[in-house]
Structure 1
Amino acid sequence: MDTVNTWTAAILGVAVVVATGVATLRWLVTTLTRQMRTIAQEVVTDAVGASEQRLSARLVAMDVRFDAMDGRFDAMDGRFDAMDGRFDALDRRFDALDDKVHHGTEMTDLRLSHLEADMTLVKQHLLGSTAA
């Protein structure tokens, strides 16, 4: 009977050790799984944070480039405004020259008509004196 009790105690002892080992392994696997999930979340969070930082840096760089381009476009717009002002001034000068040319043409036409009238008078005078 002692042998049976010994064997029973041994079997129970082994069962307790195995059960404890299984429980310990289960606890260990659960703990490691939790830690791995936590680490994975931290890695993902860090990666996302780093990606966000890189993206933010790229957006800032793009914003700086767009500001520079906007400045260039403003400068070009200023140059075009200046050129437009110069063309307006040239247009006014050409209008003034055109007015002078038209005035000169009118004056020339007027002088020519006076000259023609004078020549007609001279012609009549000459013809009249020849006929007399």
Structure 2
Amino acid sequence: MSTIAIAQEKVVIKAGTIIPLQAAQTVKAADVNEGQVIDFVTVSPLTVEGRTVFERGTIVKGKVLEASKSTIAGTKGRLVISIQKMTLPNGTPLFFSDTTVRVYGKNKTPLAVVLGCLVWPCIFIPGTKAQMPQGYEVEAMVSSNTEYSF
């Protein structure tokens, strides 16, 4: 019986490498909950030392940290999503430095209060909704050197 050793080729994805991402779908703060997972996709392939580590369109998961819809009296909506890591095609986790997406609506509280004093129904003016559109771009930075085997 003979044993054949297969040499695996390895590359290192360096800390500080920027990975451009886009939101895979439109996300509205009013429609998601804290802890919910949101998909992003890579904008371009990552090539290290002439080898492609992952292709364009690779899924990266984000987690909703805060989701507040706009309310009456002008309070704005808020959406905060953390992108902490992705799983590379060979199963290796690639961790990112504190990559947080923050999307806020516009605060209309002063307008609602002033008009509410003059015209009662105006107190019910809502703030604008927090919405991250599909294709919203964000950059994630690799937090530490990561060895990848092909």
Larger radius of gyration: 1
Structure with the bigger percentage of helix: 1
Q: RCO higher in 1 or 2 (8 Å CA, sep ≥ 6)?
A: 2
Pair in the same fold by TM > 0.5: no
Structure with the bigger percentage of strand: 2
Q: How does the TM-score come out when normalised to structure 2?
A: 0.18
